[in-house]
Amino acid sequence: MSEPTPTVDAAAVRAAAERLRAARRVLVVTGAGISAESGVPTFRGPGGLWRDFRPEELATPEAFERDPHLVWEWYDWRRQRLVPVRPNAAHEALVRLESAAPEMLIATQNVDGLHGVAGSRRVLELHGSIWTVRCVGCREARDDRRAPLPELPPRCACGGLLRPGVVWFGEALPQDVLYESFAAARQAEVVLVIGTSSVVYPAAALPETARAHGAFVIEVNPEATSLTAMADVSLRGTAVACVPALTGAAA
Ligand code: NAD
């Protein structure tokens, strides 16, 4: 039997949209859930499986050291799956919101690049990008959108091994990105949190920080999360069902 479709409380949408309309400084925090309706599987939901491995066992520096070919097979597979993927109505609604709230910033945990493809301009990629490769030797990073890659594992012109330009479990987030996103959290009037299980830190601390500094917290997620209890409005629906409704009224 399929799950019943969650209903979204219209009064809650209106209240949240009203807050968004009045705000200049908006921080949007997104996770894998915003891309789910574009066809990108989340890690923790169903359909996110790859062979018999768990992401936590492949997305680590130790896994790469042990078997760079296996790790690259997984990333190459994910890159190939992303090639035909398009931003959805939620990504597009955030582009409209940005034009209405010029100080808006998106801090995304996603590595798929879909906010940029949609046209959002101020995007901080907390966990890097799956389209970036970085040399473990000379450390040079560059974009490489070829999928599949012609050679696995790929190599740098200097001869060093290239790695995916993403942040792995156990690694630190880029300092500049972290600094800017927490500064935005401290200043935000509204924080809109879309499609994240709010279990991966430090990203999960952004809404907490914003709330501690007085921000109004809006959550969009079909399921309750650890953030739900502290949200001012928690919309129990999908990104595509809720975000255009929120920003349509806000723009
Ligand atoms: P997660 O997989 O832990 O959680 C996804 C959340 O999205 C869940 O709370 C789920 O209820 C919600 N969700 C599912 N479908 C949704 C929908 N249609 N609309 C709104 N919400 C929906 O993801 P996370 O919190 O982002 O953390 C996982 C880590 O995995 C991140 O670090 C991220 O870098 C990485 N990841 C990225 C991608 C991507 O780039 N698209 C995909 C999978 C995982």
What's residue 3's pLDDT? Answer: 45
Share of the chain above pLDDT 90, in %: 84
User: What pLDDT, on a 0 to 100 scale, did the predictor assign at position 46?
Assistant: 61
Predicted confidence at residue 4, as pLDDT, reads: 43
**Per-residue pLDDT at 43:** 77
* Pocket of ligand 1, beta carbon within 6 A: 31-33, 35-37, 40, 42-45, 109-112, 127, 195-197, 200, 220-223, 225, 238-239
pLDDT in tens, 201-215: 899 999 999 999 999
At residue 105, the 3 state secondary structure works out as strand
Query: Does 221 have pLDDT greater than 80?
Result: yes
Confidence of residue 177 (pLDDT cuts 50, 70, 90): very high
Residue with the bigger pLDDT between 81 and 102: it is 81
* Residue of 42, 57, 123 best suited for mutating to test ligand 1, as the one with most atoms within 8 Å of CB: 42
Question: Looking at residue 101, what is its pLDDT?
Answer: 87
Instruction: Retrieve residue 199's tokens.
Output: 């279990």
Which residue's alpha carbon is at the smallest distance from atom 43 of ligand 1? 42
pLDDT score of 7 more than 70: no
For ligand 1, atom 26, name the residue with the nearest CA. 31
CB 189 within 8 A of CB 28: no
10 vs 130 pLDDT, higher one: 130
Cα 241 from Cα 246, distance rounded (Å): 9
Distance 72 CA to ligand 1 centre (A): 21
Instruction: Write down the catalytic residue from 69, 91, 115, 127.
Output: 127
Q: Which atom of ligand 1 sits closest to the CA of residue 30? A: 26
126: amino acid identity, one letter: L
Residues 206 and 248: their CA atoms lie apart, in Å, by 25
CB atoms within 10 A of CB 50: 14
Q: Whose CA is nearest to atom 14 of ligand 1?
A: 33
Average pLDDT over residues 156-183: 96
Rounded CA separation 65/170 (Å): 14
pLDDT for 250 = 45
Catalytic annotation on 69?
Answer: no
- Rounded to the nearest angstrom, the distance between the alpha carbon of 196 and the centre of ligand 1 is 5
Q: What is the pLDDT of residues 116-169, one digit of tens each?
A: 999 999 999 999 999 999 999 999 999 999 999 999 999 999 999 999 999 999
CA pair distance 13, 184, nearest whole angstrom: 24
Q: Report the atom number in ligand 1 closest to the C-alpha of 35.
A: 41
Q: What share of the chain is helix, strand, coil (3-state, %, to 5)?
A: 40, 20, 45
Instruction: Return the pLDDT at 45.
Output: 64
Return the residue whose CA atom lies nearest to atom 31 of ligand 1. 109
Answering whether pTM is above 0.85, one says yes
pLDDT tops 80 at residue 106: yes
Q: Give pLDDT tens digits for 37-65.
A: 999 988 766 655 566 678 878 999 999 99
